[in-house]
Amino acid sequence: MPSSDWLPSEILIKKLFTGSVFLMPHAYDESEEKLRFFIVLNYRPENDEYLLLLSPSTKIDTRRYFAEREKDLIDLPVGAYPVFHKHCILDCAKIEKKHKSEVIKHIDAGNVTFFAERFPQRILTDIQSIIISNPSIKRYQKKLIAPPGAYA
């Protein structure tokens, strides 16, 4: 039987890819931990120590009010992704950086739900373009989401 260390790594390699979507507990700042959707942005997450993630919000007006740049926002109407049953918004300037070990911890605890359908490529391309054009996003983050050599 494989060791417990082997299984999460195998799950991550198979389940975490560009555009994969998963549901996992997360707390913002000091708020209560809640289940949140995350979209994987890394070009090759299996090779990266950290995952760059975006989390959609149903608090449309709040995100619009606090957005640094209107052009960082992507509106996701109902049906944009099959498991998003409410109108939501992505703020592409609000990238979450999570160490893979944190995700593994939640997988081991049975707290992660992966969804089979990849996030739409058209929207992923828009996200990537917005992030690369945003001067406040760190260079290393831009390099993690772009194909090798696409962002120097």
| Domain boundaries along the sequence of the chain | 6-145
- CA 74 to chain centroid, in Å, comes to 14
Query: Could you tell me if 125 and 41 are in contact, meaning their C-beta atoms sit under 8 angstroms apart?
Result: no
For the chain, give the percent of residues with pLDDT over 90. 63
Query: Could you tell me if 58 and 86 are in contact, meaning their C-beta atoms sit under 8 angstroms apart?
Result: yes
pLDDT at residue 123, as a whole number: 96
pLDDT at residue 144, as a whole number: 93
Amino acid at 113: T
pLDDT at residue 4, as a whole number: 46
pLDDT at residue 12, as a whole number: 62
In the structure encoding, which two tokens stand for residue 3, read together? 């060791």
How far apart CA 130 and CA 115 sit, in angstroms, is 25
User: Is 90 exceeded by the pLDDT of residue 92?
Assistant: yes
- What is the phi/psi pair of residue 19, to 5°? 90, 0
Close Cβ partners of 111 (under 8 Å, ≥ 6 residues apart): 24, 25
CATH class for the domain made up of 6-145: mainly beta
Torsion of CA 8, 119, 49, 25, to 10 degrees: -60
In the predicted model, what is the mean pLDDT of residues 127-131? 94
pLDDT at residue 9, as a whole number: 56
In the structure encoding, which two tokens stand for residue 119, read together? 């996030």
In the predicted model, what is the mean pLDDT of residues 56-79? 95
Written as one string, the DSSP assignment of 34-57 is: EEEEEEE--SSGGG-SEEEEE--B
pLDDT at residue 43, as a whole number: 94
pLDDT digits (tens, 9 = 90+) for 4-55: 454 555 666 678 899 999 999 887 666 677 899 999 999 999 889 999 999 9
In the predicted model, what is the mean pLDDT of residues 119-148? 93
Please state, in angstroms and as integers, the Cα–Cα distance from residue 39 to each residue in 1, 36, 61, following that order. Answer: 32, 10, 21
